[in-house]
Amino acid sequence: MKHRGFTFEKLKIASFDFTCCEGCQLQLANRESTLIDFLELLDIKNFRELSSEQFDDYDIALIEGSISRQDEVERLQAIRRQAKTLVAFGSCACFGGVNSLKNKFSLKELVAEVYPGMKVETMPVKKISDVVKVDLSIPGCPVNKEEVERIMVNLATGSLVTLPKHPVCFECKAQLNTCLFELGEICLGPITRGGCNAVCTTGKTPCLGCRGPSEEINMPAFVELVKARELSLDDLQEKIAFYNAFEGFSNHEA
């Protein structure tokens, strides 16, 4: 297929949701200004937010959500066998996401509290790479539609797929925002991978790290910054645990 001077083969794509809110999939359908051009890249085989048709001859599988039941493990493994490229799509898929907070508590206690007397199929939450091989990860809660479109164009044209290496702070400063540390807030912008255009901090909401660690994260220096500002290390621990994106940094560094 030829489009705007480029020759490419339409991507046979399918999108699947597991334990999630489906917000990342909705991101792809909500940006009407580019939706028509975006859909020209795709041969949609399974994507219920965009089409009621469902086929199994896809090459690329977008996986939204984390894994919290055994039947999800089996379904994900079947998708992996079919897909040539499997993409972890959004923070829940990449890191476990907000759902991972469940892992801090006894599953028996949680089920008894919310569903008394009912048998509930559940297990500790896993990110997608804990279950199957992941070829590409696109973080964010939700994902950045422009970034996804760029990556899909790269896949369609055989170009190199990359994610930003700089932290959110870089994008925040470019927008001339007042640093939230100056306002007495703990913000994870200095240690979080950019690419979101600092949407939260521009709205005066501290970054919670939904895109995961930046390329050259310096957690010890960041903890010292929090201490120097006399801010709560307990609050810091809570923030870096929120999406499970800083697993490996959250216990011993702070």
Q: Output the six-digit token pair for 8.
A: 């490419």
pLDDT of residue 250: 54
Give CA–CA dist 66/13, Å, rounded. Answer: 20
Cβ count near 214 (within 10 Å): 23
Three-class SS of the chain? CEECCEECCCEEEEEEECECCCHHHHHHHHCHHHHHHHHHCEEEEECCCCCCCECCCCCEEEEECEECCHHHHHHHHHHHHHCCEEEEECHHHHHCCHHHHHHHCCHHHHHHHHCCCCCCCCCCCECHHHCCCCCEEECCCCCCHHHHHHHHHHHHHCCCCCCCCCEHHHHHHHCCCCCHHHHCCCCCHHHEECCCCCHHHHCCCCCCCCCCECCCCCHHHHHHHHHHCCCCHHHHHHHHHCCCCCCCCCCCCC
Cβ count near 208 (within 10 Å): 22
Fold for the domain defined by 2-157 = Rossmann fold (3.40.50)
Residue-by-residue pLDDT tens, the chain, 254 positions: 555 555 567 899 999 999 999 999 988 877 677 778 888 888 999 998 888 889 999 999 999 999 999 999 999 999 999 999 999 999 999 999 999 998 988 877 777 767 777 788 889 999 999 999 999 999 999 999 999 989 988 888 888 999 999 999 999 999 999 999 999 999 999 999 999 999 999 999 999 999 999 998 999 999 999 999 999 999 999 999 999 999 877 544 44
Q: Output the six-digit token pair for 151.
A: 């990556």
Give CA–CA dist 199/201, Å, rounded. Answer: 6
Exposure string of 134-149, with b = 16+ CB inside 10 Å and e = fewer, is beebbbbbbbbbebbb
Domain ranges within the chain, ordered by starting residue: 2-157, 168-241
Q: Output the six-digit token pair for 147.
A: 């970034």
Q: Residues 8, 157: contact at Cβ < 8 Å?
A: yes
